[in-house]
Chain A
Amino acid sequence: MKILDKINLEKLIGILKQDGYKVIGPVIKDGVILYDEIDSIKDLPEGWEDEQEAASYRLKKTNDKSLFSYVVGPQSWKKFIFPQRLRLWKAKREGKGFSVNSTKESKPKYAFFGVRSCELNAIFIQDKVFNNGMFADSYYNEVRDNILIISVNCTRSAGTCFCVSMKTGPKAKNRFDISLTEVIKNEEHYFVLEEGSPRGSDITTQLETMDASEVQIKEADDAINNAALKMNRSMNTAGLKELLYSNHDHPIWAQIASKCLSCSNCTMVCPTCFCSNMEDTTDLSGNNTERWRRWDSCFNLDYSKVTGGNFRTSGKARYRQWMTHKLASWIDQFGTSGCVGCGRCITWCPVGIDITKEIENLRNSPMPITK
């Protein structure tokens, strides 16, 4: 473990840029903290934290100069690896036929600066989605292979966080290149740095660091524990898959659907939701066409449409699909839950549907098992 000061944090960004990385980090934009390209630590949300509750998000000034007091904003890192819109190919009419050109533009080389532990786990989950053993998504995997990850452990939790119960945080355990923990104590402001990969160590050697003392390491651990202790929400995951699989006909789905707007916000903000649609666009001449992949949501009516019918027309069936997929069938598909406990779906649901509460409701009144 090493100690990094603010000056060297700035230097770290410089080194990454010099190495050809596009450095992405937290910035304040449109009244929220989201992830965008940064040039300097000056771009970071110094002295800001987020207050989150169901259907509520506010930025608030802190009384210190902390850079990482916020928790998570509406956007996750998925938009960089799995872009909201991506052109897959172009085609041009030629005689009776046409030629297809995959647009092999060079892929960006990203350094993710400030990845939360829950988000890191979300990336690992999407890694499994986009390389399913049979097919590997080319864009995702090409970008993903080059990503450098600097995770920052949470020292605060927001009202909607429940990562502890999902075992995904608040401390990043592995598979980062560098991990940082911000400590502000008695006028001191430093970062405890942990190297997680040879690439991370290479970069660290270019910085002026000191070995962390036991006290400093303890301060960092205490700060992380503080985030865990203050986490108000939790999800009881015991037997969750079986619970959902045996309650397809539960009245709770209709109850939730009576509130749910099918707006798809939860799926857009979710760092693991991966559904997409294909869209073909053609120019006015009709000779040039493009195929785009675009984020889609299981809440959209067209999602389950087939010729002459639709498998999921009711709101309750669509909500049930989302929650059952996220927390149950995901386990069968990818060997892991699809939820990392980041709480975004709770914060950004316009009517404040709370996945943790709904699971509790379901748990407290399961359907009698008839089989």
Chain B
Amino acid sequence: MTDNKSAIKIADPMIPETVKVKKIFWETEDVFTMELVHEGDERKEFRFKPGQFNMLYAFGVGESAISISSDSSKKTSLLHTIHKVGYVTNELSKLKRGDILGLRGPFGTSWPLEDAKGKDICIIVGGIGLAPLRPAIYHILKHRKHYGKITLYYGARTPRDILYTVELETWKKKYDIQLEVTVDRADSSWRGHIGVVTALMNYVKLLPEKTRAMVCGPEIMMKYAVDELIKHGMDEKEIFVSLERNMKCALGFCGHCQYGPSFVCKDGPVFSFSKVTDIFEIKEL
């Protein structure tokens, strides 16, 4: 109790701090990445864990929950990869180098990386879902020898929607990652996989008893991915998903992000699937 009382005095988590755009660039036609530094003191550090998110605020427009997609060991700046889809993200996409935006965070739970040491890692992502897993991938690559076989299954809409293309190649070549990318639709210039991401799982042998799976993407895609992992013999406890709900305060006060008994903003976004298995199939929960 007293700890919380003192926390109030340190900083009001409702109040955004101002950060500066150091770099902004388009990854695809409608996805962009921003590099952010603290306004004023650019050496001031950001601390976060892979999988956490920030509330980014466009002046006069509003706030949006955006996962962090940079390397958590590089502390002087943050990367956010953002899908331009709503008012706030549209406004954020118009920012230029040197512009200022508001930031609250980091919030939420993180990907379970420490106790996954010694295990194989199976990452299944779809669309923008690669962004929240990128910090986890950086962490794993940095400590590559602590982990076993690493597989990354990535489903995108079209070849033009594939994120971090250069980096994906590096990961594959330099760090011995089994990378399988598939798209929903493509023209004949695409030589890669076409079809759903779960179909790729036939290509790589998964050892269910020594694998930790991390899944992020549209909820319907995650459902099929989880089903497939379970079909391959994985325990629900070893499967982690990152969920999305309407986040307004990010502190567990506003109620919007409730998912059954959980507040996705503070009890999530990363959940062990075993925590949500009973409610995952309930419609409109």
Contact = CB atoms under 8 A, between A and B. Distances in A.
B18 A100 contact: yes
Interface stretch (B98-106, B161-169, B221-229): B98-106
Interface string A278-313: 101010001001010100101000011111100111
Interface stretch (B44-52, B138-146, B205-213, B246-254): B246-254
A275 interface: yes
A84 interface: no
B4 A131 contact: yes
Interface in B48-63: 59-63
B18 A88 contact: no
B252 to A, nearest CB: 5
Interface residues of B, number: 48
A93 interface: yes
Interface stretch (A132-140, A195-203, A216-224): A132-140
A278 B18 contact: no
Interface stretch (A5-13, A181-189, A325-333): A325-333
Interface in B1-55: 1, 4-5, 7-8, 12-18, 20, 39
B253 A135 contact: yes
Nearest to A317: B284
A314 interface: yes
B241 to A, nearest CB: 15
A128 to B, nearest CB: 11
Given A135-B251, A138-B12, A306 B18 contact: no
Contacts of A289: 59-60
B261 A333 contact: yes
A238 B283 CA distance: 26
B154 interface: no
A99 interface: yes
B148 interface: no
Given A276-B249, A333-B261, A333-B263, A96 B284 contact: no
B14 A141 contact: no
A98 B254 contact: no
Contacts of A305: 246
A368 interface: no
B149 interface: no
Which residue, of B14, B15, B251, has the highest number of chain A Cβ atoms within 10 A? B14
A317 B190 CA distance: 43
Contacts of B261: 329, 332-333
Contacts of A60: none
Given A98-B59, A277-B248, A311 B285 contact: yes
A99 B57 CA distance: 13
Contact of A282 (B18, B60, B246): B60
Contacts of B284: 311-314, 317, 320
A93 B85 CA distance: 25
- In this complex, the interface size class of chain A, counting residues with CB under 8 Å from chain B, is 35 or more
A91 interface: yes
A136 B100 contact: no
Given A248-B282, A304-B246, A141 B256 contact: no
B173 interface: no
B255 A102 contact: no
A279 B132 CA distance: 27
B258 interface: yes
Interface string B248-273: 11011111101011010010000000
Contacts of A132: 251-253, 266
Interface in A97-130: 97-100, 102, 129-130
Nearest to A129: B253
18 contacts: A91-B102, A97-B99, A98-B102, A100-B17, A102-B12, A135-B251, A136-B5, A137-B253, A138-B12, A141-B5, A276-B249, A278-B63, A280-B60, A293-B249, A311-B246, A321-B285, A329-B258, A333-B263
- The 7 A-B pairs at the shortest CB distance, nearest first, are namely A97-B100, A317-B284, A275-B255, A332-B261, A135-B251, A329-B261, A282-B60
Given A102-B15, A276-B249, A332-B261, 8 more contacts: A98-B59, A131-B1, A131-B4, A132-B252, A134-B251, A135-B253, A141-B8, A296-B254
Interface of A: 88-89, 91, 93, 96-100, 102, 129-138, 141-142, 245, 248-249, 274-278, 280, 282, 286, 289, 291, 293, 296, 298, 303-308, 311-314, 317, 320-321, 325, 329, 332-333
